[in-house]
Structure 1
Amino acid sequence: MLRVTVVALLGALSLTACAQPSAPAARSTAAAPAAAAAAGAVSPEQAEKTVRTALQGLNPNFKPDFIGAAPFPGFREVLVSGQVLYVSDDGRFLIQDQPYDIQARRPASSTALLQYRKEKLDGIQRGDRIIFAAANPKHTITVFTDIECGYCRKLHQDVPELNRMGISVEYVAFPRMGLGSKDYTDMISVWCAVDRRKALTEAKEGQPVAPKNCTNPVAMQYTLGQQVGVSGTPAIFAADGTQLGGYIAPAQMKAALEKLGQ
């Protein structure tokens, strides 16, 4: 796992893999108490400076999208190149993957990171989303999607059931093959279609995408996805900025949203 992070920091991170359903990695927090003790008490400003210096040692062009206090002591929470990392305040240890809060029984995220993500997501105009709204909405999820990813297609098949449960699904674009790829141009065609909902559904069913072009938000949404920590698709976010994960079955989705109060 560390190898992938180092590659990402060196500027060679691949975004071509679909997100897979996976259990949160509780092991990510295992080193936290020991590292916190080793790090000692430092000011947030000094910790951030130390972390920046340490990561720039891996890549002089390191440009984080966010650095803040982690949800456990002794670490900074860092968003860079679509990855959430945890770096000890002394700059020595780096942990990849989101830790799991056993007591709260949910993925651990700091309040600052949730607020950062929420502000970014709220900045996406409704007119730039492809929305499948529930008739009686109780919850809304923002989904960074790709038209070719298998789990994206599986999630789209669940949209009618999610809508019946009161969950509105709002799609934004994340062409996982990168800007300039066929995936990217096809997603532009979907976003430029007269009936975008129909075009997206047909594309996810494997039907050919009719070429179209217009002023569109695809590149902007792709960049924003990386800024909030998207590295694969689908990437599902609750209204408060919580990243729920990759593909989640409808019943589990509803339970997760109700637990969040979202």
Structure 2
Amino acid sequence: MNRLSIFHSPLRALLSAGLVLVASASWAGELSPAQLAQLKQKLTQNLPDFPPIDSAQTTPMPGLIELRSGNNIIYTDPKGEFVIQGNLLETKTQRNLTEERMDEINQIDFASLPLKDAVVWKNGNGKRRMVIFADPNCGYCKRLEKDLQQVKDVTVYTFVVAILGDDSKVKANNIWCLKDRTQAWRDWMLTGAEPAKAFGMCATPTQRNNALAQKLRVNGTPSMFFEDGTRLPSAAPVNVIEQRLTKAAAKVGSAS
């Protein structure tokens, strides 16, 4: 028997992706400004193209430092001589500490999102809510739209953005200005039916949506957000989306 076969499938997936294993411990805190400056100097000295570091803190693994760069996490040693990209897994509980930190770093206030600027549709009772940033010419977005038809009891708010060129902007504006923008969006994304040209001028939220995406550091489409403020920065299987919806609904429900 292969040694890895004794682990559950989530752990096998993490191991195949590359990770650092640690025993149960606690986070110690951020580095001092002097320590951070010294670390930045060493890393950029050896790696001129190293991404900008926003913050750094120790981890439960002795000698391992977490570096935060935008929405990303990278690990290094206190002297900046080694760099690790991967997941930090606590062996005692099998918690993915990197994933938990990513959720914390990327947390948003779902209630503050301007949902009036989104195309809306729902399945079932629509009690669970999620937001998607999608470009009308994004192939992964079209695949996600089709996959989401399998998800029950969900309301989907889509902020249509135009990041793939002028045609994306034309389609986004035409879809928004049609009488039934939801149907026009779904017709295009699900069946490829070109949106009709809207008659007359119409104020659209495309520019605001693009600005919102930039503010939230949405670096590609599709990008998903859930009611608990967590995000999925790319397309994901239906079972993963279902898990995130369930987790977010439970968290929001307990908070209220």
Distance 2:82 2:48 in 1: 13
Comparing both chains, which one has the higher relative contact order based on Cα–Cα distances under 8 Å and sequence gaps of 6 or more? 1
Write out aligned runs for 1:172-191 (5 A). 172-178=159-165, 181-191=166-176
1:39-65 alpha-carbon deviations (Å, 9 max, x no partner)? x99635446656777679957xx888x
Q: Tell me how far 1:171 sits from its aligned partner.
A: 0.9
Tell me which residue corresponds to 2:5. Answer: none
From 222, 233, 237, the counterpart of 2:221 = 233
Q: Tell me how far 1:177 sits from its aligned partner.
A: 1.3
- TM-score, structure 1 normalization: 0.63
Q: Which runs of 5+ in 2 are unaligned?
A: 1-12, 23-27, 252-256
Distance 2:131 2:58 in 1: 24
Distance 1:55 1:191 in 2: 46
SS at match of 2:150: helix
One-letter amino acid of the counterpart of residue 218, structure 1: T
Stretch moving more, 225-234 or 194-203: 225-234
Q: Number of residues paired by the alignment?
A: 220
Q: Tell me how far 1:91 sits from its aligned partner.
A: 6.0
Distance 1:108 1:161 in 2: 27
- Alpha-carbon spacing, 1:237–1:160, altered in 2? closer, same or farther (3 Å): same
Which protein shows a greater Rg? 2
Tell me which residue corresponds to 1:113. Answer: 105
One-letter amino acid of the counterpart of residue 230, structure 1: V
Tell me which residue corresponds to 1:210. Answer: 196
> Percent identity, aligned pairs only?
20
1:137 aligns with 2:126: yes
Tell me which residue corresponds to 2:138. Answer: 149
- TM-score, structure 2 normalization: 0.64
Tell me which residue corresponds to 1:8. Answer: none
SS at match of 1:172: strand
Q: Which runs of 5+ in 1 are unaligned?
A: 1-22, 34-39
- Alpha-carbon spacing, 1:158–1:243, altered in 2? closer, same or farther (3 Å): same
Distance 1:173 1:68 in 2: 35
Distance 2:128 2:149 in 1: 14
